[in-house]
Amino acid sequence: MTKLSVNINKIATLRNARGGNVPDVIKAAQNIEAFGAQGITVHPRPDERHITYKDVRDLKPILKTEFNIEGNPHEQKFIDLVLEVKPHQVTLVPDTQGQITSDHGWDTIANKDYLTEIISLFKKNNIRTSIFVDPNLQMVKGAKETGADRIELYTEEYARLFFTEKEKIIQPFTAAAKLAGELGLGVNAGHDLSLDNLKYFKEHVPNLLEVSIGHALICDALYLGLENTVQLYLRQLK
């Protein structure tokens, strides 16, 4: 079964546009869980332009499903936050300062020593670790060498080319997921997955444990309603 973890950053972005607490990020997360999602994802950035560090702390005690925190471990305050909150999973993303959204995976070979060290720290605190990677077999092998529990396949290119060459663009993702399974790595995926492309991805990528979806799902919810949208995404994963 592939789990749906909903990234709620965009809800926080809307709240922060006016200040105050509307929409209520905590209530939205609880509703998303009640509507059937099996996890909540947040990606706090140093400038706290959407999810704030306070949000992360407030979410932990109220969530009933899996809590996944994404972020750049080069930021010490991110490391401190994760060790304090102790989510079920931390997903390490190689963002740069001020980056609008994630746009590439780790070079797990060049960053092997650093990743091995930080992953060891999180695992000692009983936090499952996942590394954001492109669908490159060498990067998947490198992820295994760091001691990570899972990889998260960066799916932007798949989404971008889905309507013009889906049979071709899915192939590296299928191969990467297959290799990960052979190496004993769990497989997650995320970035620009949507109602249009999710089902095909799920059908062609083996060993897929979890997808993290935020932007498209929240946009769809504006038209379709949040409960209905969560149910529609869950249906694509069956």
Q: Which fold has domain 3-236?
A: TIM Barrel (3.20.20)
* Confidence class for position 96, pLDDT limits 50, 70, 90: low
Given 33, 43, 152, 210, the catalytic residue: 43
Give the angle subtended at the CA of 102 by the CAs of 113 and 190, to the nearest 5°: 95
What is the pLDDT averaged over residues 106-115?
Answer: 96
Give pLDDT, residue 46.
87
Report how far residue 1's alpha carbon sits from residue 119's, in angstroms, rounded to the nearest whole number: 26
* Tens-place pLDDT, residues 138-176: 999 999 999 999 999 999 999 999 999 999 999 999 999
Active site residue 191: yes
**Is there a contact between 158 and 170 (Cβ–Cβ < 8 Å)?**
yes
* pLDDT mean across residues, the chain: 95
What is the pLDDT averaged over residues 11-16?
Answer: 97
What is the pLDDT averaged over residues 7-11?
Answer: 98
**Is there a contact between 149 and 115 (Cβ–Cβ < 8 Å)?**
no
Largest alpha-carbon pair distance within the chain? Answer: 48
What is the pLDDT averaged over residues 55-76?
Answer: 96
Give pLDDT, residue 105.
87
Report how far residue 92's alpha carbon sits from residue 33's, in angstroms, rounded to the nearest whole number: 23
* Tens-place pLDDT, residues 179-202: 999 999 999 999 999 999 999 999
Percentage of the chain lying above the pLDDT 70 cut: 96
Phi, psi (degrees; rounded to nearest 5) at 19: 80, 180
Active site residue 70: yes
Give pLDDT, residue 98.
52
Domain limits of the chain?
3-236
At a CB cut-off of 8 Å and minimum separation 6, what does 122 contact? 82, 83, 90, 129
Given 33, 70, 152, 210, the catalytic residue: 70
Any alpha helices (H) in the chain, and if so which ranges? Answer: 9-18, 25-34, 53-59, 76-85, 112-124, 137-146, 156-183, 198-204, 215-224, 226-236
Give pLDDT, residue 103.
58
Asked whether the predicted pLDDT for residue 88 surpasses 60, the reply is yes
Given 33, 50, 66, 191, the catalytic residue: 191
